[in-house]
Structure 1
Amino acid sequence: MVFPLASHLGTNYCPTDEELPEIKALLIQPALRLKRVDDEIAVLQKAIDKLADERESLTTYLDGYNALLSPVRRLPLDVIQEIFLACTPTHRNCVMSALEAPVLLGRICSSWRSIALSTPRLWARLHVVEPGPPSFGSINPILVETTGSKSAAKAAQRLDQVKAWLGRSGQCPLSISLHSQSEGFISSPSFLQELISFSRRWQHVDFTLSPGTLNSISHLTEMDVPLLESVKLSHHYHSLSATLQLEHFRIFRAPRFSSFRLVGNNFVGRDIEAMPLRWNQLTVLEMTGSTWQSSVTSGIALRILRQCPELRICQLSVNDNELDLDGHAPGPIVELRSLLTFRLQSHVMESSLVGLLDRLSLPELRYFSLHASGAHGPLSLAEIFARWAQLERLEISGNTFSKSSLLDSIRNLPDTLKHLAIHDALQASSSPLDDDVLALLTEVSAPCPALETLLLNYCTNISDEALLLFITARMSSESKANLTCVRVTFQRSITLDILPSLQPFVSRGLDLSITHIPILVHEVESSPWQGLSDNALPDPWSPYFSQF
C-alpha cells in the first residue's frame, strides 16, 4: 500500500495549501476506526473491571480464612518468645531504635507488640547513648540558647525511654552500656543515676563517661550489685579534669565478679593494685590505653597476673619508661594455666619485654598479639614461642624485630599455628619483613605447616614474585597445608600482576585480597593530591585480628 506524503512523516516538512485537503481526506477512515476500537476496549475494560472486583473480593475472603490457618498462630507463647529473643543482637546490647529488635517487633501487629512488651528478657539488654552538649561554634546567643534547649529536651525524652525500657525487664539480670557523647566535657550524671537505681540487677555494665562522672558509682558496695559479673570502664582521652579513683570502687568485690576492662590512662598504676578486686576469680582482665602514657610497668603487670590464676583473656598496655626494678629482676614464674588469649601493647626496651614474657607460663595459650612500639634492638621471641605448644593465632608488628630475630622467631613457632598477621610501620623502608620471611614460609619443611590465614599489612620490602611463590607452594597438591585466606597490603605500586596466576586457587576457595597503596610524593610548592581524602592511608593497627 502506498501512503501519500509518507516520506515527510516525522520531519519538519510543511504541507502546501493543495496538500491539506488530501491529508484531511486520508484521516477520515482511520479516525472512524479508532473510535470503534476505543468503544470495544471500553466494553472489554468494563468486563475486566467486574472480574477484578470479584477477584479482589474472593482474595479478601480467602486471605482472611487462610490467616486463621497460619502455623504461626498455633505456636505456643514460649516458642514465639524464644524466636523474638533470637532476633536480638548477640554480640552487643540492643539499641533504642525501631530498625531492630525488640522495638521493631512491636511494630508488626498488636499481638506481637503485646507479646514483646510482656517478655522481660527482651528488655534486659540496653545500649544508651547520652546526647551530647550543644555546639558552641556559633556566636549567636539566641541560636546557642535554642540549641541548648533542644538538647536538654532530647536528653529528657531519652531518659524517659530508658526508664520505660528497663521497666519492662521485670527482675531479669541486666546488661547495660552507657556511652556519653560529651567528649571533653563533664558527662551528665542523670543517665548514670537512673541506671544506678537498677544496680541490684546489674550483670554486665559498660560505661564510657568522663572520669568525674564515673567516680559517682564509687559509693556503691558489693551489696548493691549482687549479680555483677563484668565491668568495662572507658573515658574520653581529652577528659583530663579528673582521674578515676579506682581504689574506692567497692563494686569490684561483687561475689560473681569475673571480668574487668579498663580503657584509658587517667589512673595511677599503683592504684590499680589497690583496687578491691577479687583478682583470684577474674577470667577476663583488660587494661589498655596509650602505651606511652600507661602507668602499668612490667613489674606491676607481673604482680597483678600473679594474683589471677583463672584468667582466660588478658590485654595489657605496659610502659617501662621509668626504672622498674621488680620488672627487670628475676623472680618466680607466674603460671596462668587457663589463659587462652593474650594481647600485649608495650612501650619498653627489648630486655624488659622478653623478661616479662619469659616469666609467664602459658601452657594453653591460643592467641597472642604483640605491638611493641618502644622496643629497640634484636628482639627475639624464639624461645618463648617454642614453649607455647598450643598457639594457633599470632599477630605481631614486624618493625619490632631485627631481620635475624624475626626469622628465628618464625622458625620456632609451634606446628599448631593456623593464623599469622604481621604489620609493618608506615614508610618503614628498613623493615625486616621482606622476601626472606616469605621464603622461609615457602620451604618444603617450612614452619607453620598448618597455616590457614596470612595477613601482611603495609609491606614495603616484599615483592609480588615472592608472594606468588608462597601462595603457589602452599596451595600445591604436594603441600599438606590448608591455606584458606591471604590478605596483603603493599605500601608501594604494583610491579607484577600476579592475580591471573592465582585465579585457579581463588576458584578453589582461596580468600585472596592484594592491595597496593603507593606512597604519594608531593612537591613542596603544590600537589594535585592535596586535600583529597584518599591521600590518607588507613591505620595499620586497625582491629585486624577481628578477621581471624
Structure 2
Amino acid sequence: MTGAVLANASRVHPQRQVSPILRIPCEITSEIFQHCMPEDEFPPPTVISAPVLLSRVCSGWRKMAIGTPRLWSKILLSSTHNFEDTDASFPTNMEFQAVALEVWMKRATSLQLSVHLHYPTLPALPISELQFDKLPPVFRVIVGNAGRWKDLRLSLPRKYVPYAWNLTQQSGSNLESFDINDTSIPTSGPAANGAIPVFLRADTAETLTALSVRALLFYASSKPLPFVRLRILFLTYSYPDGCLTLLKYCPVLEDLTLHFNDLRDELTPADQPILLSQLRTFHLSHTANGDDEDRDFVAGCEIGMLLDSLELPNLKGFYLWMTIAGYDIYEDPEIPWDYLCRLITRSNCALTELELRASYMDTASIVKCVQLSPDLKYVGIPRGEELEDEVRRLLPSLQSLRTFEELAQRVISQRFTFNFTF
C-alpha cells in the first residue's frame, strides 16, 4: 500500500525527482555560467576552467553550457613548449588547439570570437623559410574563417610577428580589436636590437576600435585610409615619426599611450600640428630599457618635442613618465621644459588630471602647467615641500595630490660634479 502511494506521489510531483539546482530557469543558469568566466583574461580549453569545466558537472549543465553561445566567444590558445633547434616541429597539443578553436566556433554559433594566440617560443626559422604551413596550426582556422574574428591578440617571437600580423589583417574583415606583442622583446635589457618592423595595413581601417602594439610599427599603406572608429591606441617600442604618421589617420582617437625606450636620435616635429579633436587621455613615457624606475637617469632624445606636433583641444588627462632627460636639459637642468605649456596654450584644453613623473623638470615649468589648468582635480608631481605648497595654493579645490621621489634631480646633480662629455 505504501509503495503504491509513493508511486502515485512521484507521478503527481515529478519535480521531486529533479535536483534542486536543475530547477533554476535556464536563463538564470546561463547568466550564472557567464559570471564563472575570467573577467580580464581569455579562458583556455582545459577541463579545470570554465566553460569546459561547467560542461563536465552533469548532463544537464553540459547541455546548458554548450547551448550558451556567449561562453564560447573567447579562447586562449597557448604553448609553453620550447623549440631549441631549426628542425623542431609543432607538438601534438598544438594540433589539438586548432580543433579546439573549431569547436569554440561551432558552439559560439553566429557570435564573433575573441582569440588570444600566445606562443612566446616557436621553431627557429630564417625569415626566408617562414611560410603559411610553418605557422601554428590554428592559423589555418584563422585564415579559413575571415569574418569570425572580433578581437585578435598575437603574442609571437620577432621573426613570426610581421608575417602573422600581415596575414591576420587580411583575414580579419570584422576586426574591432587588434593586439600584437613581440615576445622577443625582453622585460629588461636591450629592447629593439634586431627589431623587424611590422606594417599596419588599411584593411582594418573601417572596423578597428582598439589597437595595441608592442613592436616596431609603421603605417605604410600605398593607399592610407583614416581609422574612422579607432578610439584606443597603445604603442610601445615604436619610433616617434612612425607614431606621428599613424596619428594623422586617427580622427576619433580618445585614449592614447605612447611608450618609448632609450631613444637617442633627435626628434623632428611635424610641419603642422596634428589635430586629435576627441582625445581625452594621453600617457607619454620615455624610459631606459627595462622600465626600472630606480635606474640612473640618462640623456637621450627629448621626447617632449613630440608635443609640439599635436593639438588636443579636448584633452583632460595628461600623464608623463620620463627617466631619460633630453640632451640639452641633461647638460643644463635649469632650461625650462615648456613643451606641455605650449600644448595647453595651443590646444586651449582644460586638464582635470596631470601627472608629471619626471623629476628633472624645473619647478617653474611645473608651476606654469598648473597655472594653465585651474580645473585640475588630480596632480602628481616630484616630491618637494615648496612645490607641493605652491600647487595647493594655486589649486585650493584639488582633490588628490601625489608626489614622486626626486631621484632624477639627485642623479643629474651628482653627475655635474664630474666632467661629462657626450
Same fold (TM over 0.5): yes
Deviation track 1:37-80 (CA, whole Å, cap 9, x = no partner) reads xxxxxxxxxxxxxxxxxxxxxxxxxxx966759486251x3443
Aligned to 1:196: 143
SS in 2 for 1:246: strand
Judged with a 3 Å threshold, the aligned counterparts in structure 2 of structure 1 residues 161 and 78 are, in CA distance, closer, same or farther, namely same
How many percent identity over aligned positions?
Answer: 21
1:399 corresponds, among 350, 359, 367, to 359
Aligned to 2:67: 118
Q: 1:228: how far off?
A: 1.3
Structure (1/2) with the larger helix percentage: 1
Q: Relative to total residues, which structure has the larger strand share, 1 or 2?
A: 2
The alpha carbon displacement at 1:115 in A equals 0.8
2:274 maps to 334
C-alpha distance after superposition, 1:239-289 (max 9, x if no partner)? 967724416x46435x42233221123x5xxx4343766434122222212
- Counterparts of residues 117-196 of structure 1 (less than 5 Å): 117-133=66-82, 152-182=91-121, 185=124, 188-196=135-143
| Residue 504 (structure 1) aligns with | none
Partner of 2:172: 225
RMSD between superposed Cα atoms in Å: 3.9
For residues 105 and 217 of structure 1, do their structure 2 counterparts lie closer, same or farther at Cα, with a shift above 3 Å needed? same
Amino acid at match of 1:83: I
Q: Distance in 1 between matches of 2:301 and 2:197?
A: 31
Task: Check conservation: 1:312, 1:339, Cα contact below 8 A.
Answer: yes
Task: Indicate yes or no: 2:185 matched with 1:235.
Answer: no
Query: 1:322: which partner in 2?
Result: 265
One-letter amino acid matched to 1:408? K
Structure 1: segments with no counterpart, 5+ residues? 1-63, 137-144, 423-431, 463-548
Larger Rg computed on CA atoms = 1
Shift of 1:370: 1.6
Residue 274 of structure 1 corresponds to which residue in structure 2?
221
Give the C-alpha shift of residue 230 in structure 1: 1.9
Aligned length: 358
Query: Is the alpha carbon distance of 1:242 and 1:194 closer, same or farther for their aligned partners in structure 2, counting shifts above 3 Å?
Result: farther
TM-score normalized with structure 1 length:
0.56
For 1:438 and 1:455, the matched residues in 2 are separated by 9
Tell me which residue corresponds to 1:506.
none
Q: CA deviation at 1:394?
A: 2.6
What is the letter of the counterpart of residue 215 of structure 2?
G
Greater RCO, CA 8 A, separation 6+: 2
The Cα of 1:182 is off from its aligned counterpart by: 1.0
Asked whether the 8 Å contact 1:320–1:349 carries over to 2, the reply is no
Report the CA distance shift for 1:323/1:71 in structure 2 as closer, same or farther (over 3 A): closer
Q: What is the CA distance between 1:176 and its match in structure 2? A: 0.9
> Residue 312 of structure 1: which of 254, 257, 260 is its match?
254
Question: 2-side partners of 1:221 and 1:287: how far apart?
Answer: 17
Aligned-partner SS, 1:193 = helix
Q: Taking structure 1 as reference, are residues 407 and 280 closer, same or farther at Cα in structure 2, changes over 3 Å only?
A: same
Between the aligned partners of 1:126 and 1:90, the Cα distance in structure 2 is 12
Provide the residue aligned with 2:395 in structure 1: 447
Cα distance in 2 between the residues matched to 1:456 and 1:184: 47
Counterparts of residues 491-530 of structure 1 (less than 5 Å): none
8 A Cα contact 1:189 1:213, kept in partner: no
Displacement, 1:124? Answer: 1.0
Secondary structure at the residue paired with 2:33?
Answer: helix
Instruction: Give the superposition deviation at 1:177.
Output: 1.1
Give 3-state SS (helix, strand or coil) of 1:182's partner.
coil
> In the TM superposition, what is the alpha-carbon distance from 1:352 to its structure 2 partner?
5.9
Deviation at 1:448, TM superposition (A): 6.3
Measured after TM superposition, the shift of residue 89 of structure 1 is 3.1
1:218-250 superposed Cα distances (whole Å, 9 cap, x missing partner)? 34675x433212211111216967724416x46
Distance 2:111 2:278 in 1: 30
Instruction: Return 5+ residue gaps in structure 2 as ranges.
Output: 1-13, 126-133, 187-191, 288-297, 330-334, 410-422
Matched with 1:30 is none
1:98-113 aligned within 5 A = 98-113=47-62
Could you tell me how far apart the structure 2 residues matched to 1:343 and 1:208 are? Answer: 23
Q: Which amino acid counterpart does residue 373 of structure 2 have in structure 1?
A: L
Quote how far apart the aligned CAs of 1:460 are.
Answer: 6.2
Work out the CA distance in 1 between the residues paired with 2:158 and 2:107: 30
